[in-house]
């Protein structure tokens, strides 16, 4: 067995151990990405081999929490891919307008920037008051940041540009207060948002969702886990409900492709068909 194979075996044993100890399942993450993250975590510790992490992570929950934060890439931004939000407003919002209550699941919401972006656009379309957004992630530290609504002031210039490109109607600064080098977004934006821990690798469906967004999360999963998660999204959506993925993610080649029609290719927006393969009228 050469060094690369031995390293792979160490990662396999580590992930197996963590699954049995904590129930967090990284075994079906894409090998390249989990290896990068484990090596990144290793470089921040005093250990010199991946296998040496096993006892420390198994016995010390605090270390496991740091590992979790390090392994899950929480990079995100407000109004990421503004053309996506523009199309969402044009193609999906008119459909949402036909419902008295709107259920939205934002899976893999990281530190919340995307969730507040959506909340702002829903508000500007007079849809926020009848919407409820379930914003989930498996990373509690990220969820706490999302609940806090505090972000660096230095990011606001780029976010404002993206907000305008997304079709935002006012000024992004209408929605936050700046203090020193940070801003806090208005509490009113959080009124209809429930942040909760949900692990896409092990947990189940939400029901009767009209819109599910899960962007830039599936890229970290292998094909089997992607299929598991996409089935959960399909089963969570009501007929005619919409699914939005990240720009590098697709339903093509997945087990659920036939349950959806493609609404916007570049923006990765799909609509759930009924059992007879049609959209409900
Ligand atoms: C790169 S961020 C994407 C954030 C946001 N959706 C966006 O596009 O800007 C990926 C997020 O997926 C979350 N994640 C990774 N694996 C997960 C899992 N098994 N269950 C739930 N969330 C997961 C990470 O914690 C992280 O917050």
Question: For the segment 75-134, what is each residue's pLDDT rounded down to a tens digit?
Answer: 999 999 999 999 999 999 999 999 999 999 999 999 999 999 999 999 999 999 999 999
The overall average pLDDT reported for the chain is: 95
CATH number of the domain enclosing 86: 3.40.50.150
139 Cβ inside 6 Å of ligand 1: yes
Atom of ligand 1 at shortest range from CA of 113: 9
Report, in angstroms and rounded to the nearest whole number, the Rg of the chain calculated over CA atoms.
Answer: 20
Ligand 1: centre distance to CA 136 (Å): 9
In this structure, how many other beta carbons lie within 10 angstroms of the beta carbon of residue 108?
25
> Is residue 108 domain-shared with residue 146, that is, in the same domain?
yes
Question: In the sheet that 237-245 helps form, which strands lie side by side, from edge to edge?
Answer: 193-197, 131-137, 102-107, 209-214, 237-245, 269-272, 260-264
How wide is the angle at C-alpha 266 spanned by C-alphas 32 and 82, nearest 5°?
A: 95
| Residue 229 pLDDT exceeds 70 | yes
**Given a cut of 90, is residue 49 above it in pLDDT?**
yes
CA separation for the pair 124, 117 (Å, rounded): 11
What is the b/e burial string over 30-65, where b = at least 16 CB atoms within 10 angstroms of the residue's CB? beebbbebbeebbeeeeeeebeebbeebbeeeeebe
Q: Is the pLDDT of residue 216 over 70?
A: yes
Domain range for residue 161?
A: 82-272
Q: What is the pLDDT of residue 277?
A: 61
Residues 43 and 86 in one domain: no
215 CB near ligand 1 (under 6 Å): yes
Site to probe by mutation for ligand 1, drawn from 24, 106, 108 as the one with most ligand atoms within 8 Å of Cβ, is 108
Show which of 18, 49, 71 is a domain's final residue. Answer: 71
Is 88 found in the same domain as 63?
A: no
Query: Same structural domain for residues 142 and 258?
Result: yes
The protein residue with its alpha carbon nearest to ligand 1, atom 14, reads: 108
- Judge whether 176 and 185 are in contact, CB under 8 Å: yes
Instruction: Tell me, yes or no, whether 77 lies in a domain.
Output: no
Domain contains 241: yes
- Ligand 1 geometric centre to CA of 159 (Å): 20
Within this chain, do residues 131 and 151 fall inside the same structural domain, yes or no? Answer: yes
241 and 181 part of one domain:
yes
Same domain, 107 and 244: yes
Q: Is residue 233 part of a domain?
A: yes
171 lies in some domain: yes
Centroid of ligand 1 to alpha carbon of 218 (angstroms):
8
Please give the model's pTM, rounded to 2 decimal places.
0.94
Three-state DSSP string of 237-252: EEEEEEEEECCCCCCC
Residue 28: CB within 6 Å of ligand 1? Answer: no
Residues 249 and 197 in one domain: yes
Cβ atoms 203, 16 nearer than 8 A: no
Three-state SS for 105? strand
pLDDT classification of 275: cutoffs 50, 70, 90: low
Q: Is there a single domain that holds both residue 259 and residue 165?
A: yes
- Total domain count, the chain: 2
Structure tokens that stand for 50 in this block = 């991946």
Residue pair 155/77 in contact (Cβ under 8 Å)? The answer is yes
In a domain, 281, yes or no: no
The H or E element spanning position 130 is none
Question: Does residue 230 share a domain with residue 103?
Answer: yes
| Mean pLDDT calculated for residue range 57-79 | 93
Are 264 and 242 members of one domain? Answer: yes
- Which of 22, 41, 71 represents a domain boundary (last residue)? 71
């Amino acid at each position: 067995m050469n060094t690369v194979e031995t390293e792979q075996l160490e990662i396999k044993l580590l992930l197996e151990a963590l699954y049995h100890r904590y129930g967090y399942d990284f075994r079906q993450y894409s090998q390249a990405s989990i290896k990068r993250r484990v090596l990144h975590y290793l470089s921040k510790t005093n250990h010199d081999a991946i296998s040496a992490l096993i006892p420390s992570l198994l016995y010390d929950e605090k270390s496991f929490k740091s590992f979790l934060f390090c392994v899950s890439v929480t990079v995100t931004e407000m109004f990421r891919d503004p053309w996506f939000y523009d199309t969402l407003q044009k193609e999906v919002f008119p459909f949402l307008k036909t419902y008295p209550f709107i259920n939205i699941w934002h899976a893999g919401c990281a530190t919340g920037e995307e969730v507040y972006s959506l909340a702002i656009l829903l508000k500007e379309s007079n849809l926020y008051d009848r919407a409820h957004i379930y914003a989930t992630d498996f990373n509690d530290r990220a969820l706490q940041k999302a609940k806090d609504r505090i972000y660096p002031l230095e990011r606001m210039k780029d976010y404002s540009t993206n907000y305008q490109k997304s079709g935002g109607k006012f000024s992004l600064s209408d929605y936050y207060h700046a203090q020193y080098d940070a801003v806090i977004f208005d509490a009113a934006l959080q009124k209809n948002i429930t942040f909760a821990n949900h692990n896409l690798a092990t947990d189940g469906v939400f029901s009767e969702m009209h819109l599910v967004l899960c962007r830039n999360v599936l890229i970290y999963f292998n094909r089997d886990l992607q299929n598991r998660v996409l089935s959960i999204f399909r089963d969570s959506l009501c007929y005619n409900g919409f699914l939005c993925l990240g720009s590098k993610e697709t339903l093509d080649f997945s087990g659920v492709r036939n349950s959806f029609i493609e609404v916007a290719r570049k923006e990765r927006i799909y609509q759930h068909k009924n059992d007879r393969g049609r959209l409900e009228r």
